[in-house]
Structure 1
Amino acid sequence: MEMASQRSLPSAPGGAGTRYRDLLLRGGPFIALVILCVFLSMATPHFATLDNMFNITRQSAFTAILAIGQTFVILTGGIDLSVAAVAALSACVTTVLLTTPITLFGYDFGILPAPLAIAIGLGVGCACGALNGWIIARFKIPDFIATLGTMTVLRGVALIVTDGLPVPSFQSMSSGAALPSALIQAGSGSMLGIPISAIIALIVALVGFYILRYRALGRAIFAVGGNREAARVAGIDIGRTKIMAYMISGLTAAIAGLIMVGRLNSANALMADGEELRAIAAVVIGGTNLFGGEGGVIGSLVGAVIIGVLNNGLNLLNVSPFWQRIVQGLVIVLVVIFDQWRRRKTSGGN
């Protein structure tokens, strides 16, 4: 079956000009990133410095990882509003296990080893994603409504897990219960001068690219988002595909949550509030079709960097935070307008 993201454009006379036009249209996010960087480099001398570039990548890593998982969901024609809540819950569970002695069924397990606690945190993210996918597939609830509900539920569970307090608390840190250095390094450390969080984001993007490009699950995701009825006739299990897409989204959200813990050296139930909207914006800016079937994680990675560059540039230019919100909103609207125009052009529509 021909995937929506792999459809070739109809040939036309003067093919070279058409190819250049198509390259310009499809490379829109990257071109926009280059133009934005050139403008900010001229507007402020502090932008085009190596330290600032590394700072941007570190700040963009969290949004990028969330956006990569969100891409899988949006490619199926869905949307996941719970990713930030999943990140917070996974982070809270992990930090509680790393700093608080665990007693279960009368047995005292003490403070769990870091690898086990992190694995449980990642498992929580997968479980939350699977729950989202199962609810949507089993009860035929719109993705928007289902994940809006689970977003609120998961925030509440995170509040219960942490008792509404940051973890580790001041008291636990005073008693010697601190987060492992490896986790702190993942969020705030560097390797050869490159932020480790950015390296993790790149690895997640490459794995996502491989799944979408070369695995059967990736082809099924494109098929479900491109034409659900055709996918069903072709024998693709739509419910299973949706569940797998949401599980990937939950896993990447958990990874992002652990990176944020490393940056903050703590976790709380309300962390990453509003980041789900930034992740969706990064996916849209990166060129993924909100109706599914077309796009990819590389574009979402570029979209996350665009958001990071824009925020960083506005801060360097001393733009008021109030105006920053207006500018960010306008950029998203303009990108969507351009994206819709691009799709009409490439599809031959008016």
Structure 2
Amino acid sequence: MPQNRAIPAWREGESLSRALVSLLLKGGSLVGLVVLSTAFAILSPHFFTLGNWLNIFRQVAVVLIAASAQTMVIITAGIDLSVGSVLALGGCLAAVAMSYWGWPFVSGALLGVFFATLAGLASGVIIAKGRIPDFIATLGMLGAIRGIALLITGGLPVPSHFTATKLAGYLPQSIVWLGSGDIKGIPVPMVFALLVVAITWFILNRTTFGRSLYAVGGNREAARAAGINVDRIKILVYGVSGLYCGLAGLVLVGRMNSANALMAEGLELQTIAAVVIGGTNLFGGKGSVFGTLIGAILMGVLSNGLNLLNVEPFWQRVVNGLLIVAVVVFDQWRRRVTRD
């Protein structure tokens, strides 16, 4: 008769370590979110309240919208360092049109989103047709587009107290509601951001364009051999990134009830961190927008928790910078483990 044999201690330890590694590979971001939330709940009695969580969701909405675009770009083995500048361009154009030119909300919003999309398409054309690395092209566009936003606003906030005349009114309530309103207690920005996440999931998983993004990021030459127009895909994905940033710009303008050319500085690092924390491969071919959702919330929880603990803003920048480094190190480790 078969007998039950005791498993050696070293075998049990090996099985446990493999289980932990598997858990980190499959749900590291979710585990991190739970651990971080638990720690802040212990340290601050105000953390686990409904009002605080709604505030977190409201704060992460802009990052989540832009990070959804960044997810698609990184899946193609690219990177978009111009997301903050494109957001500022779209938001400032929309605010100028509504405040100074007297345009209604819809027209002003479409103007801002249109030019943000054009800026994204311009980056895509430079990368695809000019054979310029994504990092260099979008780094150059980061400065150029920010400069255009400064020229549009004259370096002043919109609407400006210095120009608040009969020709320069205030922002319409529609855009303020988009950035600060509630629907039965649920923040409108988060509802809007979750809608963008759902659309992104559909694009990535239910469309030919989405499958092409994974193919291009996994193996560009194989994708080209399979008949995929790689240049077209690269141009389109940066155009979609510009579109998303234009939408995020409207939300941020509504939340601030103002616009300025320097808003959303550092957004590129926040979006990259959210994407990588969510499990998307920095070298392309693999990724999920739902992982990005968890990554964005994790970063929002970290920022909110540090504020509740009265950590100085300078130290918060240190923590956020170290988080990005740690995420990249973790991503490299995850790739090696997966490969082995």
Would you say the 8 A contact 2:273–2:327 is kept in 1? no
Q: Deviations over 1:91-135 (max 9, x none)?
A: 11111111223xxxxxxxxx2222111111111111111100011
Q: 1:205 aligned to 2:214?
A: no
Stretches of structure 1 that go unaligned for 5 or more consecutive residues are 1-14, 102-110
Residues 90 and 121 in structure 1, CA contact (< 8 A), matched pair in contact too? yes
Q: Any idea what SS the aligned residue of 1:179 has? A: coil
Query: Which of 117, 120, 133 pairs up with 1:129?
Result: 120
1:320 CA displacement: 1.9
CA RMSD of aligned residues (A): 2.0
How far 1:173 moved relative to its partner? 4.2
Q: Of 225, 228, 249, which aligns to 2:220? A: 228
Count of residues in Structure 1 that have an aligned counterpart in Structure 2: 326
Residue 50 of structure 2: aligned partner:
50
Q: TM-score, normalised by structure 2?
A: 0.91
* 1:166-245 superposed matches below 5 A: 166-173=157-164, 175=166, 177-245=169-237
Which position in structure 2 is the counterpart of 1:69? 69
Task: Indicate the residue corresponding to 1:150 in structure 2.
Answer: 141
Query: What's the secondary structure of 2:47's corresponding residue?
Result: coil
Give percent identity, aligned residues only: 52
Q: Deviations over 1:272-298 (max 9, x none)?
A: 111111111111111111111111211
2:313 aligned with 1:298: no
Name the aligned partner's letter for residue 113 of structure 1.
P
Find the aligned partners of 2:294 and 2:307 in 1 and give their Cα distance: 20
What is the aligned partner in structure 2 of residue 22 from structure 1?
22
Q: Which amino acid in structure 1 is aligned with residue 156 of structure 2? A: L
- Quote the Cα distance in structure 1 between the aligned partners of 2:255 and 2:81: 23
Query: Would the aligned equivalents of 1:172 and 1:178 in 2 still touch at CA under 8 Å?
Result: no
Deviations 1:194-214 (A, max 9, x none): 110011110000100100011
Q: Match for 2:186: what amino acid?
A: I
- In the alignment, which residue of structure 2 is the partner of 1:12? none
Larger mean CA deviation between 203-212 and 153-162 belongs to: 153-162
CA distance in 1, matches of 2:140, 2:50: 42
- Correspondence for 1:115: 106
Note if contact 1:99-1:172 (Cα within 8 Å) is conserved in structure 2. no
Cα contact 1:129–1:249 (8 A) shared by 2: yes
Unmatched runs of 5 consecutive residues or more in structure 2: 1-14
Counterpart CA distance in 1 for 2:337 and 2:91 is: 43
In the TM superposition, structure 1's runs of 4+ consecutive aligned residues that sit over 6 Å from their partners are 17-20
Deviation at 1:331, TM superposition (A): 2.1
Given that residues 105 and 174 in structure 2 are in contact (C-alpha distance below 8 angstroms), is that contact kept between their aligned partners in structure 1?
Answer: no
Partners in 2 of 1:159 and 1:336 — Cα distance? Answer: 33
- Whole-angstrom CA distance in 2 between matches of 1:230 and 1:316: 50
Q: How far apart, CA to CA, are the structure 2 residues paired with 1:46 and 1:322?
A: 23
Which SS does the other structure have where 2:103 is aligned?
A: coil
Residue 141 of structure 1, aligned match among 107, 132, 135:
132
What's the offset of the Cα at 1:346?
A: 2.6
